[in-house]
Structure formats: structure tokens, C-alpha cells
Structure 1
Amino acid sequence: MTVATSAAASASRAAGILSRPVSLNGLTVPNRIAMAPMTRQFSPGGIPGEDVASYYARRAAAGVGLIVTEGTYVGHESAGGSDRVPRFHGEEQLAGWAKVAEAVHAAGGTIVPQLWHIGMVRSAGEPPFPDAPAVGPSGLRLDGTAGQGKEMTRADLDDVVRAFAEAAAAAERIGFDGVEVHGAHGYLIDQFLWAGTNRRTDAYGGDLVARTKFAAEVVAAVRAAVSPAFPVIFRYSQWKPDNYKARLTETPAGLEALLAPLAAAGVDAFHASTRRYWLPEFDGSDLNLAGWTKKLTGKPTITVGSVGLDGDFLKGFRGEGAPVKGIDDLLDRLENEEFDLIAVGRALLQDPRWAAKVLAGRIGELAPFDAKSLGSLS
């Protein structure tokens, strides 16, 4: 077989595997490529404008099957820390999001908003509500120190659960195809899941199963707020920003204990966030976190972590580039049903036509990641 023939066969294989549709509850995603959520801060006043609609629609038109939006703040005053991150509450904000969903659908894609509360990551005095305190399970920041916030009361917990449910109901009402609950990367829900930030002695703290109680209540409320066929995705991670060794659990048995209450509460699919998808999650198996999640829950999973690039994504935000990485290993795993979708971040951020090139077998046209591209994000 010549080099050219081999390359053509590889390209054809990529197109064939990635072009298969997949079902997430009542939603049929047209292919296996998802857009990973990436914070952009391009929505002054928390209102997504026409530029945001165009940004997502361009990627849907170029073959992305499922758009997961950047994180959007739920309707709780302590949820965020920027007035340029979009919010998923408020008349103007939701009207803007309705236009985004309409544009993505017109381009042939499907779209879910990521619902977000940052918890103790918030700093005092930050917008959009400067007087709101940071809140968390124990009032602790990710480094374990006391922050300028407070430990959440039962009333606080109920308010946040309600905010997630109301956002999910709004998403279905204005035309989205599902929702993703952000339970990863050291933000509020993850702060409850992780022993490093959850020191509570009530029903919401203690062992790993007890620490899932708040997340499960959020999921159950979201599930109850939308129709039965409306997909609920849950994103989670082991790692935290600047603490890559942090782990919710060290074993498959622990992971099963963590995920089972969430699946029972109504999660339809899990989005397992890793920094490099090709790394095994536990000793003795090549399965990554998404692979273990699917094996333990039976639910569809989305894998993510430097897809198409060789280098850590956080370095990109510090001005570092990354070379192109082949996806043959990724295709092997997808073909073996280790997971169901791949979420693409930086590669798709830089090149809106990344999916079209891969699906058409034009892999040779893919370019290395250039951190300077973060300045446009068009």
C-alpha cells in the first residue's frame, strides 16, 4: 500500500466512524463530534448577541453534531464573576439565547447550554452582582483556605437547586435540545463532590456517596423541570485548575459509587473531562475516564481532552501553541465503543471548519494550534 493510499484509507475510516449518528435520550445527534464548552466573555451584560449566534452556527454548519455552549450562569446572584460571561436567566439574555439556538438549528446542528455556578471561585465585589458573597459547601477555596465567602445553608442549597431547574426549563422552552450541568473543574457542584473543599458534617458531606447528594439534587430538579425525552448531560472531572493531581476517587469502585446516584437522579449522558483523552484513568486498564464512566453506568459518554492536538489546553490560555496530533487512537476507541462522542476544544476554537475537514478526510489541512487565535474567536 502506498503512502497516499494509506492516507486515503485513514481519512475514509475517520469519516465513516465519526459520521454515525448517536442518541442521547430523545435527541439524535447527527454525528460523533461535539464542541466542548469554552468560556469566551463575549456577551456584555450577560447577553449573547448576533456575533455569538454566528460563532456557534458557523461550527454547526461545518459539521459539528452537538454544540455545548460556553458556561452560562444560572439565576443565582453568586453564580458568576464576570459581566461578560453569558447568563441563562433574564428576558434579554434568554431572547439572545433563543436566537443562538435558532441559528444552530438552521445550520443543521444540535445545541445544549452548559449551566454553571462557580461557587467559591468567585472573588468579593466581582460582577455581575458585586454585593453577592461567594458560596460553597464549607466556605473553602480550592487550595483549602478560607475564602471571603460563606458555607451554604439549607436555604442557599435550595435556592441554587431551583436556579438550575429554572434554567433547564427555560432551555427547553426557548428551543434548546438538552442541557449540560457543569459539575467539573473545581466549580460549585465539584466543590461538593471533592473532599478537599467539602468538610460538611451534615447530610451533604462525609463519604463519597454523601458528597454526591447536592449534585444529585440538582440533577433530579433539572430532570423534573423538563420533559422526559429532554437530555440531561452531566460534566465532571477529577482534576482542578492548578491541581492536576486532585482526584475525586482513586478506584473504579469509588467512581461507581460517585456516578450511581447521579445516573439514578436522571443523567442521560456523562461528559468526562480530562486533560489528555489518551491517558488511562486507573492502573490495569487502558480505559480513560469516559470509558470507565460508560462501563460503570451504561450511559452514553463524551470524551474530551486535547483532541486533535498534542499539548495541555490550559497552556494555550498562557500563550502557548500545540502541534497537531493524529486521531487514529481516538477512532480505535470510538469504534470499540469505549465512549460515544468526542468533544473538541482548541482545535475547533481556532478552525471553525475542523469538523468538515475531518469528516471529508482532509486531515492534512489541519493546522497546529496558535494561541494568537484566541484573540478573535470568530
Structure 2
Amino acid sequence: MTVQLTIPRPDDWHLHLRDGAMLRAVLPETARDFARAIIMPNLVPPVVTGDQASAYRDRILAALPDGTTFEPLMTLYLTEDTDPADVAAAHASGLVKAVKLYPAGATTNSASGVSDFNKVRPVLEKMAEIGLPLCTHGEVTDSDIDIFDREAVFIDQVLDPIRKATPGLRVVMEHITTKDAAAYVTSQDSDLGATITTHHLIINRNHMLVGGIRPHYYCLPVAKREEHRLALRAAATSGDKRFFLGTDSAPHTDPNKLNTCGCAGCFTAPNTMPLLAHVFDENDALEKLAGFASENGPAFYRLPVNTDTMTLAKQDTAVSFPDKIDTPDGPVTVFDPGFDVFWKVT
């Protein structure tokens, strides 16, 4: 017997689309299911100014398939030279919905990020004044800090001091991966929110490392122990409005994933919503999926919930997803959850 669930059309509050041929190949995978997405600015060169964000938005809209309704929500890449006045003007125009903080060297295309947080204090103070959210890649990059501990250390050494020094700053902890991060969010006020990815609800570090290295499960922040995955599931399915979906869907071609220094990222855009339905169903929390995927994110970003809807159906036979998406640059492998999924978008 088929079971159906209808929710407001979801949004993705953390998405990588890249540019050029890759953008044109992967954008339809997001636009098919999602009404809006927060677009990451870590291109080469990064999207630093309002003019650059406007030009990138134009390229995204030009790449949309005919008849597709999708709104890219643009962000600026925070550097130590970012101009607070340019940030404020880009926000006032309605173009820019957030500013992204990458600690320098933390992840893909983050070399232009921040090393000295004192140098960005004027930007953060302006953002607090105008209500513009700061999206954080929450990891320190010190070589003496173990990669599995870098999120927890970031909270203690960077995030909490920034928030205490900048009252009123609205912050999104993106792609949280630990029970420490989930607990920090629930201990704070409504100026703090957090996104959780699809893949971090499904895999732990054993999936990536046991029985052979699986490069398509390698992402940053890296997947952690099982206790952390379960804490993320509990947070996502709790109904707490401070947690919402940000896929961090990050396309890389297979040659760039399958080499001696493979890129970090999981490409989940094509199958996120069926996978989330599976997770929420497994946790007996289907009634909470609309909040996580469709309602909590708009509430934090002070945007309306989408008026159109999506229907997901659970069927008796397993659903097939494409193994790869072909692009002119090479194939991009779609995230494989490692189990049968019986949910699909109808």
C-alpha cells in the first residue's frame, strides 16, 4: 500500500552549484525539488562583492531549464578585506541573504577565508546592526587539532567568542556534525540556528573507512562517530525550529574525487528528499519533516514558507536513483545511502 506525505515545497539552506558547465549540469537536480537555496560563494575567485553576487545570480538564472521555478539566495564570501558598506548595500537591495565565514584552509576553495577574526569585526558589527545572518563553516584549521575535534574546538575558541563580542549577530552553524554542536544550539537563543545535511544523518566515519576507503563519503566536516550521527538525527527530527535542512550538496567529478588528494563533498541534490523521508520515517517522525525541510529555514531567514507543495510517496518496491550525473567536465557520482529506499517524490 502506498503512503503519501504532502509538505510545503522545501528549500535548501546550504548548496554548492559551482559555475560554468558544472553549474548547468547540476542545477536542474536542485531546481526540480527545491524552491530556493542559499548559494555558497566559494568559487574561484570567490564571490566577495555585491556586484559579483549579482553576476553569479544572473548566471544561475540563465542556466535554469525552461519552465523551472527556482530562486537562488545569494551570499558573500567573508574576507579580511570585506567592505561593511558593500555588504550593507547588497543586503538592502534584497540580493544578499547571508555572509559566509570560511576559516582559511578549512575546506574546498577556502584559501581566501579568515585567519585573523579581529579584522572582520567591523563587518560582523554591521551585520548585527542590519540583521544579516552569518553562515559559518565551523572548524578550526590548526594543524595540531585532530580533524575529528575541529568542530567542537571551533565552538569554544571562535564561535562563542564572536557571538559574545557581537550582540545581536544572527548565526547559522552550517552542516553540524557533532552532539556538541547540537547541544550548543539548543542551549542558545533564537539568534542561532543550524543546518544539518542529508548525508550526516545517514553515514558515520565507519561508512567511509571500514572495509576500504569510500571517497564518495568523504566530506568536510568529516563524518564522526555513531553517537554523533544519532544526536544529529535526534535534533533534525525533534521539531526544534533552530534546526533545518542544508544539504551541502557538493558536486565534484569522479576524477577529482578518486585520486591521491580527493576533493571533499557529497552530491545529494538528486535524492535528498526521498532519503530524508526514509530517515524521518525510520525515526517515527514523518510529521516533523515539513518543519525541518520546509518551515524552519524560512522562519530563521525571515522569509515566507513556500505556498506550493511537494508530495512524497512510500511504495512497496525500492526506488532507483541515478548512479551518476554526466557533465561536460566528467561524471559526478550521486550519494548512495547504502540501503534500499522506498520513498520517492511524486
The TM-score, its normalising length taken from structure 2, stands at 0.49
Which structure has more relative contact order (CA 8 Å, sep 6+)? It is: 2
Structure 1 or 2, whichever has the larger Rg, is 1
